[in-house]
């Protein structure tokens, strides 16, 4: 998607995301309330307290094709277990207690916070279009960090790693 097309579609996408988060806000709970044992070793207490999670039957995905973004139809059709908008994580009911999934989505919370909505969505869209879902830079980062946590190595600050890696991405 060229920058002009992104500028035209961004307000529509942002509006859909805001409406979705607002509609689910009454059911949102802080991630900290889930009392996952490993997350506090990787995320700041403020992040765990401010990030929210909503368990849903199916994660809400923007109607990208209806917005004229048919190049993202594969992403739109995915049957994802989780998705993050701003500081709100949506997870499917049957995986609501999966700490690994919450770790992955919390990486996206940090990315949203550090990049801001416009830059996050621009990078995410560009990554999907150029590399596909699994290899898009923001997803690859989340999967890699999730893997490091799963290996059980020494805890680290996800926020610091994401900040450093986003600076490298910005240069690239």
Residue 51, token pair as written in the block:
């990030």
The CB density around residue 134, as the number of other CB atoms within 10 Å, is 8
Per-residue model confidence as pLDDT tens digits over 66-76: 999 999 999 99
Six-digit token string for 40: 């506090």
The whole-angstrom separation of Cα 130 and Cα 137 is 10
Task: Tell me the mean pLDDT in the region 136-147.
Answer: 97
Compute CA distances 102 → 7, 12, 42, 76, 168, whole Å.
31, 27, 12, 21, 25
Give the total number of structural domains in the chain. 1
Residue 39 CA to residue 48 CA, distance in Å, equals 8
pLDDT tens readout for residues 88-120:
999 999 999 999 999 999 999 999 999 999 999
What residue numbers bound the domain in which 142 lies?
A: 3-171
């Amino acid at each position: 998607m060229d920058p002009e097309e992104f500028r035209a579609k961004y307000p529509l996408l942002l509006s859909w995301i805001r409406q979705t988060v607002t509609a689910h806000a009454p059911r949102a709970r802080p991630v900290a309330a889930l009392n996952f044992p490993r997350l506090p070793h990787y995320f700041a207490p403020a992040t765990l307290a401010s990030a929210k999670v909503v368990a849903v039957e199916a994660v809400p995905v923007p109607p990208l094709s209806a917005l004229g973004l048919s190049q993202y139809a594969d992403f739109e059709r995915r049957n994802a277990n989780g998705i993050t908008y701003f500081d709100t994580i949506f997870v499917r009911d049957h995986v609501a207690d999966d700490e690994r999934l919450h770790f992955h989505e919390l990486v996206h919370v940090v990315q949203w916070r550090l990049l801001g909505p416009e830059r996050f969505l621009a990078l995410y869209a560009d990554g999907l279009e150029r590399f596909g879902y699994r290899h898009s830079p923001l997803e690859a980062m989340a999967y890699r960090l999730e893997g490091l946590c799963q290996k059980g190595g020494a805890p680290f600050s996800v926020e610091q790693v994401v900040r450093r890696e986003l600076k490298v991405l910005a240069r690239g």
